[in-house]
Structure 1
Amino acid sequence: MQKIQNFINGEYLDPIKGQYIDNVEPGTGKVFAQIPNSTEEDLENAVEAAKVAFPVWSNMSVDKRSKILHKLADLIEENLDDLALMESRDNGKPLWLAKAVDIPRASTNFRFYASAIINFSSEAQVSEGFMVNYTRLAPIGVVGCISPWNLPLYLFSWKIAPALAMGNCVIAKPSELTPMTAFLLGKLTKEAGMPDGVLNILHGEGKGIGQAIVEHEATNAISFTGGTATGKIVGVTASQQFKKVSLELGGKNPNIIFADCDLEEAVKTSMKSSFTNQGEICLCGSRILIEESIYDEFKERFLGECSKLVVGDPMDPKSNLGALVSEAHLNKVDSYVQLAKEEGGVVLYGGERVHKEGFYYQPTVIEGLDENCRTNQEEIFGPVVTLSKFKSEDEAINVANSTRYGLSCTIWTSNLKRAHRVSHAVQSGIIWVNCWLVRDLRTPFGGMKDSGIGREGGNAALKFFSEPQNVCIKL
């Protein structure tokens, strides 16, 4: 059984107190590795390494930092098969999905920010014959990045890439449920030529080492992606020390289907937005709202597509859905299906655990629920969607906005005016019209209401991981 290590100051190190956590493979339900359960002693080592490395990294030319990040992107691509295999074993997602999306996107994240820092332009205001004011973005120093388990390397790189690009040193914590690709990344950063101490990776529990990273006086900014309840704790803790904080939290996203849509495309894409990555994506459309006149036809077609889905071994290329990330999470998902039945919902498809070993759950479709019931209000984060009908545009908007979340929304219509009108009325940070999960890394990413604060992606991320400094020169 493999024992992985923390990555501190360019070296792989055992946890100082020798404490480890079992890492269970979702596809088999068996322990396949152990990870450090890091403590404050490990954090102090990482902080000291980051402090020493900061003057070197922050004063390195932008061109040189960019080349190192591009090299890291190259190495991720060269090691795609190994990284994808480890991610699939670690997370339970189909291997083909990790190869097609997660690992390539991680490489793209580094490559994008390696280019962004070269092309970023600052502002200047000139008062002729009197003075010049200009604004530069200065790196913050040591920052903490805490990433979730659903898209392990994809979201890990999404956080650390802009932080590193801006010249910060990073103390990063991947989820204790999916640590393996972050563990492998340490070696690749070394090969890419990144100075020791610039990126430090600590493994362990969120309530332990994660909270310690947020609390430590040396971390000047915190970027966190995860559940809303945990995000509230992170936000309160960080604000007490006046730290910059970015919180990308949960979603209960509406998928609005108008009668004038391209129905075939709406059904096809709604399958993806419902069940990709076993529904373990914060952007999944878990509430499908369908205009009454096409409700029955949409439902029939959607259920027909559900019957074609294969839930199975993540290593099998025929599997559409793999395993949920843990037994505890599987039990949580199943508990919501049972709750839905108690609330008057009718399970049209799925609703059961499958296979004797591992944490597999059927794609599940439920109808007949009130918009205000818990099943339609709380984030399930699994392969469970609800269907409901609406009679008017206003009703669709009201239902879409009825939860405390506001991360994303998908709208299906061929009416351009309606597309704009509904997009502006829905309280979501991200709106897709006639598509889903189409991303341009230049645009800001984030949610409204309880789905978080701050924006990631593009220049918004570069600005978050820096402090604006105004310089005024009298002529």
Structure 2
Amino acid sequence: MEAYNNLINGRWVGARSGQLRPDINPSRSAEVLGQFPDSDPADLNDALEAAAAALPKWRSLSIIARGDILYRAADLITARADAIARDLTLEEGKTLPEAKGETLRAAAILRYYAGEARQEIGEVYAATDPTTMLYTKREPLGIVGVITPWNFPIAIPAWKIAPALIYGNTVVWKPADITPLTAFHLATALHDAGVPAGVLNLVYGRGSKLGNVLVEDSRVRGISFTGSNGVGRRIGVACATRGAKYQLEMGGKNAAVVLADADLELAVEMTIRGAMRSTGQKCTATSRVIVEQSIVGAFTEALAERCRKLVVGDPLDSATYMGPLASLDQQKTVLDYIEIGRQEGARLVTGGTQTDNTGFFVSPTVFTAVDPHSRLATEEIFGPVVAVVPATGLEQALQLANDSSFGLSTAVFTKDLTKALRFVDEVECGIIHVNSETAGAEPHVPFGGMKESSSSSREQGKSAREFYTQVKTIYLDRS
């Protein structure tokens, strides 16, 4: 069985402790895919020292040259996409086509930010004195800490690391500890593409041992985090206390609203995609479906019938629609919420069972007659569970959609443009889809939520520049 290492200062090195942790295949939980370092703060300190030493030379390198490295890394990921996707599927559980799509999305993100090297990096302003040249320039923050989740183990790191690098920062990256192999592939591509020693440092290990150390270190000038709300809040407080920038993308309880005039077949299909792809393990996954009362029966029946036909099993099998949950803990959480739904009085229409003892599988699950204030309807489950909630019309549907502490993504299904535009104007979410699934995002547009779904920051597209750079204003007068 292969043992992998951290990437620190351009070298692959083991944890100082010599301790390793297994990478488990969630489809066949007895199978170990590899062993990865169980790092401690001493390893993290080595990475921070390397990032600090590499910073002056990296930030002084032409942004065009930095972009060329990202282009090369994108080409390497594309060339290796089949192997990367297979390993992603093996350790995370999403189907092979989804893993291939995510891998190619990571390559597209790298190319996008490589292209940003040839965009404007400052602005010129009119000055009161006509002999004064008044302009701004953007400079890197310095060392950036990147903490990424397991559900998109190559795309999310790419959309954090690529802008950090293109704008001249050095990076210390702590990936999720249950998807280390995919992190290895991304780091290897960037390393092989020519990212200099110390510019990107990958440190494997548990968040409980490394997270606070990374967040609280005064050398780290920014933290970009995607994960749970509880951890995100603690990161925000720690960064604010010492004056570091922070960017948090956290939970969601995303609602799809289906009005009576909607294309029912389309609404069902988009709900299935939004709720069941990636086994519901997306922050943008459809978790609630608010359906106008007159069609709630027909919609629920059609949704349940489609769910019963979904093939759950080996994610490497081309016939499989939905693979396992990513871990035993995740499976337990989902099964616990299904039991909570039953106890709260919601009606289980289909699913709700563990389907296979060899891995962490749960069947696609639909509840109806769900109390909109119940835990089933208000708490993030992060699994293949849909709560159907009736509404009298658009007015109540908007009220129910907004009655949430989260505000990441939403969708509305209607043929009425006026209703669609009213929904867009009044719904409290950062991402809105009209007649499409709640999940999915283009790499060149802002991504992020409202309320407790984010720190009011945005990722991807040109929004990333606002986080990873700081602005200098220059008054240049003639001598």
Q: What is aligned with 2:361? A: 360
- The 1-side partners of 2:392 and 2:370 are apart by 16
Trace 1:451-462 onto structure 2 (pairs within 5 A).
Answer: 451-453=453-455, 454-462=457-465
Q: Deviations over 1:404-425 (max 9, x none)?
A: 1111111111222211211121
Quick one: distance in 2 between partners of 1:204 and 1:191? 23
Cross-structure match for 1:18: 18
Unaligned regions of 5+ residues in structure 1, if any?
none
CA displacement at 1:135 relative to structure 2:
1.3
Name the aligned partner's letter for residue 427 of structure 2.
Answer: V
Q: Distance in 2 between matches of 1:44 and 1:444?
A: 33
- Given the two structures, how large is their TM-score scaled by the length of structure 2? 0.97
Contact 2:308 2:364 in 1 (8 A): no
Kindly, what percent of the aligned residue pairs are identical? 37
2:19/2:39 contact within 8 Å kept? yes
Corresponding residue for residue 471 of structure 1: 474
What corresponds to 1:251 in structure 2?
252
Distance in structure 2 (CA, Å) of the matches to 1:23 and 1:180: 8
The CA distance in 2 between the partners of 1:211 and 1:95, in whole Å, is: 34
1:438: Cα distance to partner? 4.7
- In the alignment, structure 2 segments of 5+ residues that lack a partner are none
Tell me, what secondary structure is at the counterpart of 1:297?
Answer: helix
Q: 1:251: how far off?
A: 0.2
Cα 1:438–1:21 shift into 2, 3 Å:
closer
Partner of residue 3, structure 1? 3
Quote the offset at 1:344 in angstroms: 0.2
CA-to-aligned-CA distance 1:16-55 (integer Å, 9 cap, x gap) = 1112222211010123322211111111111111112111
Q: Who is 1:197 aligned against?
A: 198
CA distance in 2, matches of 1:18, 1:438: 40
Q: Does 1:371 align with 2:372?
A: yes
Q: Which residue does 1:334 correspond to in 2?
A: 335
**In the superposition, relative to structure 1, how do residues 416 and 438 fare at CA in structure 2: closer, same or farther (>3 Å)?**
farther
Q: 1:63 matched to which residue of 2?
A: 64
CA RMSD of aligned residues (A): 1.2
Asked if the contact 1:288/1:385 (under 8 Å) is kept, the reply is yes
TM value normalised by structure 1: 0.98
Q: 1:442 aligns with which of 441, 444, 459?
A: 444
CA contact (8 A) 1:139 1:466 kept: yes
Contact 1:352/1:362 (<8 A) preserved: yes
**Structure 1 counterpart of 2:96:** 95
Contact 2:282 2:382 (C-alpha < 8 Å) held by counterparts:
yes
SS at match of 1:283: coil
* Match in the other structure for 2:112: 112
Instruction: Find the aligned partners of 1:119 and 1:27 in 2 and give their Cα distance.
Output: 44
Shift of 1:368: 1.5
Paired letter, 1:81: D
> Helix, strand or coil for the counterpart of 1:286?
strand
Q: Does 2:301 match 1:315?
A: no
The number of equivalent residue pairs is: 474
Encode CA deviations 1:144-167: one digit per residue, 9 max, x unaligned.
000000010111111101101111
Moved segments of 4+, more than 6 Å: none
- One-letter identity of the residue aligned with 1:85: R
User: What's the CA shift for 1:396?
Assistant: 0.5
Which residue number corresponds to residue 273 of structure 1? Answer: 274
- Greater CA drift, 395-404 or 125-134: 125-134
Which residue matches 1:239?
A: 240
Residue 36 (structure 2) pairs with residue 35 (structure 1):
yes
Select between 354-363 and 29-38 the one with higher mean Cα deviation.
29-38
- Given that 1:10 and 1:186 are in contact with CA atoms closer than 8 Å, whether structure 2 keeps it comes out as no
Separation in 2, partners of 1:249, 1:331: 21
Q: In structure 1, what is the Cα distance between the partners aligned to 2:440 and 2:264?
A: 19
Which residue is equivalent to 1:432?
Answer: 433
Shift of 1:81: 1.2
**Paired position in structure 1 for 2:394:** 393
DSSP 3-state at the match of 2:383: coil
Secondary structure at 2:387 match in 1: strand
1:267 Cα deviation from its structure 2 partner: 1.3
Q: Matches of residues 290-309 of structure 1 in structure 2 within 5 Å?
A: 290-309=291-310
Asked whether the 8 Å contact 2:441–2:447 carries over to 1, the reply is no
Structure 2 SS opposite 1:354:
coil
- Say whether the 8 Å CA contact 2:19–2:38 is kept in structure 1: yes
